[in-house]
Amino acid sequence: MTDVTRRHVVKLGAAGAAVLAAPAIIGRANPATAKEAFAGENLLVVSWSGNYESAFRETVIEPFNAKYGTKAETVGGWDQIINQIVAAPADKPPFDVTIGEEYVSSAGISQNLFQKKEWSSYSNMGAIYPWFFESRPERAKDYGVPFAGGTSLLLLRRSVGLEPTSWNLLWDDRLKGKVTCDSGYWWFTLAIPTILSSSRPGLTEMYDIKTAEPLFKKLDQLKIARWFKDGAEQANILNQGEADAATSYSSDAYQFLKQDPDEYHIAAPKEGAAAWSDWYFKVRGTKHGELADLFLDYLMSKETQDRFLSQSLTFMARNDVTVPDHWKNYPASNEDFHRMFRLLTMDGWDKLNAEYQAYDDRLKQTIAKTTAR
C-alpha cells in the first residue's frame, strides 16, 4: 500500500513512572545522527480531525520534519481508526502511528492492533505526570506513550453576566432555552450530572444503565435551544445567537477564544470536568518502526509539548510545560490532575459499549423532552 493510498484510506474513514536514562542507540541511529539516518523517510500519523489536526501539523509534524529531514504527515481520524487497521493486511497498515483516547486504546489493545514497546526506549518518560499511568489498567501498560488530554468545558457568553464556575448553571433559569449540549458524543454530556452527583468515585455511576437513569432524568430537566452533533454545528448555534451557554471541548473551545477573545468565558467548573487522555501508538506491521520510536519520544519532549500547548486548551503529559496565558487554572501537580479531571476510563468504556444502544436510545428521549419546550 503506497503512502498516497494510505492517506486516501484514512481520509475516507475519518468522520509513571521514572525510567532508565536514554539509550545510546535508538534503532539504527543515536539522536545526534538521526537526521542523516531518517532523512527522506515517510511516516503517516493519525491525529484527531479538525482543529486538533491543524495544530498538530503546525506544532508537531512540521518541526519534526525540519529537525530530522523526514517526510512525516498527519491525517485526521475519529471513530474509524480501529476499523481501518482491522480491514488492512496485518503487514500493510493504513498508517504507522495513531492517536487513541481510552476507547481507541482499549479496542486496539484487545485486538492486538498496536505494538508493544519497552519504556526504556524513550528518553522523555521521566517528566510525565504519574496520573497518565495511574488511570490505565494493567493490560495497557506496555502500549503507547502519553502526549496530552482534553476535557469538556463550560462556555458562557460574557454578556449574560455569569462566570463558568459550576455545571449547575446549565439548569439556571437565567439561561432557560439558551443552552446547547452535545448529542453526538453523548457520554461527555451524561458525565455532567454524574460529576454533580458525586455519589460514586469518578464517573462510575454512569457506567451502568440502571444507575445512569437518575442522571438522564437530570438531563431531562435541561432547557435546550438546540443540541449539536459536532463542532461546526456548535459554532453555528453560538454564532447565530441561539445559545449563550454550551458544553465545549478543548480544541473547539480554544478556537472560540482565539477568534473572539472578548465574547466568551470558558473554564472547567469547580466540580471538575470529564476528560480523556491522548496516547500515541505504533501500529502493527509498520515498516517505519524505528522512525516511529523517534517520533513517539519527540512527542514527549518539552519543546514539542510547549508548542502544542501554546495553541490549545488541552493539558499536556509533561510536568514542566510552559503554560500560556490563555490557559487559566492549569493543573500544577499530579494531585490537581486527580482533582480536576474525571477520566472516562478504558474499563468504563467497556461497560458503556456493552449497553451502548440502551444509552443511545435513552438519550434520544432526553433530546425529545428538552427541545419540545
3-state secondary structure the chain: CCHHHHHHHHHHHCCCCCCCCCCCCECCECHHHHHHHHCCCEEEEEEECCHHHHHHHHHHHHHHHHHHCCEEEEEEECCCHHHHHHHCCCCCCCCCEEEECHHHHHHHHHCCCECECCHHHCCCHHHECCHHHHCCCHHHCCECEEEEEEEEEEEEEHHHCCCCCCHHHHHCHHHCCCEECECCCHHHHHHHHHHHHCCCCCCHHHHCHHHHHHHHHHHCCCCECCCECCHHHHHHHHHCCCCCEEEEEHHHHHHHHHHCCCCEEEECCCCCEEEEEEEEEEECCCCCHHHHHHHHHHHCCHHHHHHHHCCCCCEECECCCCCCCCCCCCCCCHHHHHHHEEECCHHHHHHHHHCHHHHHHHHHHHHHHHCCC
Q: What is the pLDDT of residue 342?
A: 96
Q: What is the largest CA-CA distance in the chain?
A: 66
Phi, psi of 148 (to 5 degrees): -165, -160
Measured from the Cβ of residue 174, the count of other Cβ atoms closer than 10 Å reads: 11
Q: Which residues contact 356 (CB under 8 A, 6 or more apart)?
A: none
Q: What is the pLDDT of residue 199?
A: 80
Distance set, CA 72 to CA 38, 178, 236, 317, 327 (Å): 11, 44, 33, 22, 29
User: Contacts from 167-170 at CB under 8 Å and sequence distance 24+?
Assistant: 167/192, 167/195, 167/196, 167/269, 167/271, 168/196, 169/245, 169/269, 170/222, 170/245, 170/247
Radius of gyration of the chain (CA): 21
CA nearest to 184, candidates 247, 265, 236, 239: 247
Domain boundaries, the chain: 3-149+275-332, 151-274+346-370
CA nearest to 349, candidates 112, 141, 196, 185: 185
Q: What is the pLDDT of residue 298?
A: 97
Is the fold of 3-149+275-332 the same as that of 151-274+346-370? Answer: yes
Q: What is the pLDDT of residue 16?
A: 35
Terminal Cα distance for the chain, rounded = 53
Tell the CATH topology of 3-149+275-332.
D-Maltodextrin-Binding Protein; domain 2 (3.40.190)
Q: What is the pLDDT of residue 372?
A: 56
CA nearest to 188, candidates 272, 109, 295, 108: 272
Residues of the chain with pLDDT under 70: 1-33, 118, 372-373
Measured between alpha carbons, how far is 42 from 70 in angstroms, rounded to an integer? Answer: 6
Q: Looking at this protein, which amino acid is placed at residue 154?
A: L
Q: pLDDT, tens digit, for every residue of 306-315?
A: 999 999 999 9
For domain 151-274+346-370, give the CATH superfamily.
Periplasmic binding protein-like II (3.40.190.10)
